[in-house]
Structure 1
Amino acid sequence: MDIAPHAPPGADTQAHGLELTILMPCLNEAETLALCIREAQDFLARSGIAGEVLIADNGSTDGSQEIAQRLGARVVPITERGYGAALRGGIAAARGRFVIMGDSDNSYDFANLEGFVAELRAGADLVMGNRFRGGIEKGAMPFLHRYLGNPVLSFIGRLLFRVPAGDFHCGLRGFSRARIMELGLTTPGMEFASEMVVRAALARYRIVEVPTRLRPDGRSRPPHLRTWRDGWRHLRFLLFYSPRWLFLYPGLVLLGLGALVSGLLFPGPLRVAGVTFDMHSFMAGCLAVLVGLQVVTFAVISKQVGVRRGYLPPPTGLDARLLGLLNFERGLILAAILVLLGGAGMADTLTDWVGRGLGPLEDPRSPRLFLASMTVLVAGIQLAFTASLASIIEMAQPARR
């Protein structure tokens, strides 16, 4: 059967009265699954917590389901393939008020979950493990993951989303089941780990971190994780959820540099440190203005789509001002002003050219005026169509509450 990932939050937890579900996704983990289950069960027995061990099986063919059932763990089959799909199904089926999830390859320490439970009881919505603080045993993490992948992606996560996590991709983490269910997580693959943290941060959930130990993978086969493929998927996900860093800031840089270059070169050639910048540099500046403006409008549109679909928070500050600017009526008014200004400049240059019998233009500023005017005209046209698209998106789909 397929577990619905969007079951009503708390439906099962209220019925069963359990405080904690220890959730393990599983795909052919017969070598290590029993070790993980026993360790988790020992923790529950030692701590006196009313809980369960839940195995979200993603189609194992090595007898993992029988091992789990024989040891008294609950097994839910998840037919949709993927790490994220297994965890979504497991979270939906969990009976505990809190969920602590971790891989079933014996790399995570299920015997020492006291720190996670304490933070959850204190009101944290999401508790992240930190393997760098808790200790990484020899051979437990590949060199590239330890010194490049995890530090870089964790830094990007902190920069883009202000997540207080030094180990952004630790797979051992605890959370309030109801709060995570409210996020409506959707990704089926390895990027589910990023989606959970990013969506929780955007929703302003309380996120804390506790040290946890990482042991070497106990399996004889290679892990499901693929370093470069899954690393790229995580990075791509982080960028897609941050329109500011993907579109807005690069667009503003291009727009600003283009305006600066074209403004300095509009009167004529400019010589700097023995190098003369002339018409070609002026053309490049005008092109940068148009590209920068287009990228900035992409930021506005992507933010609008994210808000309407419910995975980005309502805009504030600069985002709110840009969305207000692209209001259909205001956008059309600004676009009309730019088109009129650009058209007037082009008409003036063309009139002068026709008056000279379509011959050579003696004033070297005339080509610059024509190109600058065309840039302003095209910018106005871009803005008009972008404002129209923004209005269509606004009407096409009601905002999610």
Structure 2
Amino acid sequence: MPIELSIIMPCLNEAETLAVCIGKARDYLERSGVSAEIVIGDNGSTDGSQAIALSLGARVVNVTQRGYGSALYGASLAAQGRYIIMADSDDSYDFSNLDPFISKLREGYDLVMGNRFKGGIKPGAMPWKNRYIGNPILSSIGKALFRCPASDFHCGIRGFSKEAFHRMDLRTTGMEYASEMVIKATLMNMKITEVPTTLSPDGRSRPPHLRPYRDGWRHLRFMLLFSPNWLFLYPGTLLMLIGIAGSLALMLTPIHIHHVRLGIDSLIYFAFMVIAGYQSVLFAILSRVYSVQENLYPGSIGYRYFFRHIGLERGLIAGGLLLATGLGAFIYALVEWQRFAFGMLDIEHIARICIPSGLTATLGIETILFSFFLSTLGMSVRHHPTESPLDYVEPERARG
């Protein structure tokens, strides 16, 4: 029979709980009658985990590249089922109740997320700081940045189709893998839903591989880096607009607000805000281009339009005009200085020429350099073929 389901588990020295997890999965498959396989993505275990898995009829895939994401990716790559359900091999997730996931996958959903807050968290299964601070905050940030429908953004049990797995083209190797999966599925407009699931205490006697603060920061960092609009574009645009408005207002005359006088000292800081905001906007564009080029972020119509209409030549023209404007103002300042025989000048008057001159010249140079760098990133090159499964994993099967 064709395999409908592959149950995959990452493994790194999980001899204490691996047999329990495989046993629960096998019990479920026998009851449900689903045509399935169990695949263990082993990340270099030295405690006999591979032998345990093979003795219980599971397939073992040796993933040489270390990391939670690498182990799951290697197992998913080797999976033969139409659908894949992944969960940790520490006995914290219930492999004996996978019907909700199978049902939703058969309905056509691309990604089915478990929700521990709806299904139940048993006493001792999740530290209070993760339950009431870490997970709610990270899930809220994920929903705000990407409009993701999942309420439990980092639940470790989830199901997806093999076709969706290939479309997502996941690249991260560590704990960010879970975030990348949800984010990419959302950005690619895949069908996503949630089902209740129960979280139990970790069945191992040793500490878990998870480190709450380090891994929480890695997830947050990944979400921010995956959202250049919120990280760079929106703050940079706001800062630049404030700087431009303040600079234009102070270029001609000081401004008095009650007893406060804003003069050239304020003009300097408004000019700084323009430069900092402009650089942030450029970073947003460059980070998006890099992410698309590396297949970390799906391309869009707006992205293709930008590259089609904003090329090197237009960037050089815009930068050249800004630079020429700044140099023109610099020449005008020299003429003014000459009028006073290159002696003492009215600082209020000359600063209102020199500061905008330096500002526009700086923006022009940044635009020119940005255009060259953007053109380098956007060059049409032949990419190396993707890794083959045989380069990445080494399947093992039970003898006999």
TM-score clears 0.5: yes
Inter-partner Cα distance in structure 2 for 1:328 and 1:348: 30
Inter-partner Cα distance in structure 2 for 1:73 and 1:362: 84
Note the C-alpha offset of 1:166: 0.6
Note the C-alpha offset of 1:295: 1.4
Given the alignment, which residue of 171, 175, 199 partners 2:160? 175
1:213 matches 2:190: no
State the identity as a percent.
49
Extract structure 1 runs of 4+ deviating beyond 6 A. Answer: none
> Which letter does structure 2 place at the counterpart of 1:272?
I
> Which letter does structure 2 place at the counterpart of 1:78?
V
Write the mapping of 1:142-161 to structure 2, written as runs, cut at 5 A: 142-161=127-146
1:344 matches 2:328: yes
Contact kept in structure 2, 1:326 and 1:386, CA below 8 Å: no
Note the C-alpha offset of 1:316: 4.3
Q: RMSD across aligned C-alpha pairs, in angstroms?
A: 2.0
1:369 matches 2:353: yes
> Which letter does structure 1 place at the counterpart of 2:292?
V
> Which letter does structure 2 place at the counterpart of 1:340?
A
Inter-partner Cα distance in structure 1 for 2:384 and 2:139: 29
Note the C-alpha offset of 1:73: 2.0
Given the alignment, which residue of 267, 273, 292 partners 1:307? 292
Tell which has more relative contact order, 1 or 2 (C-alpha 8 A, sep 6+). Answer: 2
Inter-partner Cα distance in structure 1 for 2:182 and 2:173: 15
Deviation per CA, 1:230-263: give whole Å up to 9, x if none. Answer: 1111112112222212221121122112112222
1:394 matches 2:388: no
Inter-partner Cα distance in structure 1 for 2:269 and 2:383: 40
Note the C-alpha offset of 1:273: 4.6
| Corresponding residue of 1:105 | 90
Write the mapping of 1:2-401 to structure 2, written as runs, cut at 5 A: 17-317=2-302, 323=307, 326-362=310-346, 364-395=348-379, 397=381
Deviation per CA, 1:258-304: give whole Å up to 9, x if none. Answer: 11222222223323353332222210110111121111111112222
Note the C-alpha offset of 1:386: 0.8
Closer, same or farther: CA 76–315 of 1 in aligned 2, 3 Å: closer
Inter-partner Cα distance in structure 2 for 1:322 and 1:365: 41
Deviation per CA, 1:99-157: give whole Å up to 9, x if none. Answer: 10000111101111111111111111111111111111111111111112111111121
In the alignment, structure 1 segments of 5+ residues that lack a partner are 1-15
Note the C-alpha offset of 1:363: 7.2
The 3-state SS of whatever aligns with 1:224 is: coil
| Corresponding residue of 2:392 | none
In the alignment, structure 2 segments of 5+ residues that lack a partner are 386-400
The 3-state SS of whatever aligns with 1:72 is: coil
The 3-state SS of whatever aligns with 1:128 is: strand
The 3-state SS of whatever aligns with 1:390 is: helix
| Corresponding residue of 1:3 | none
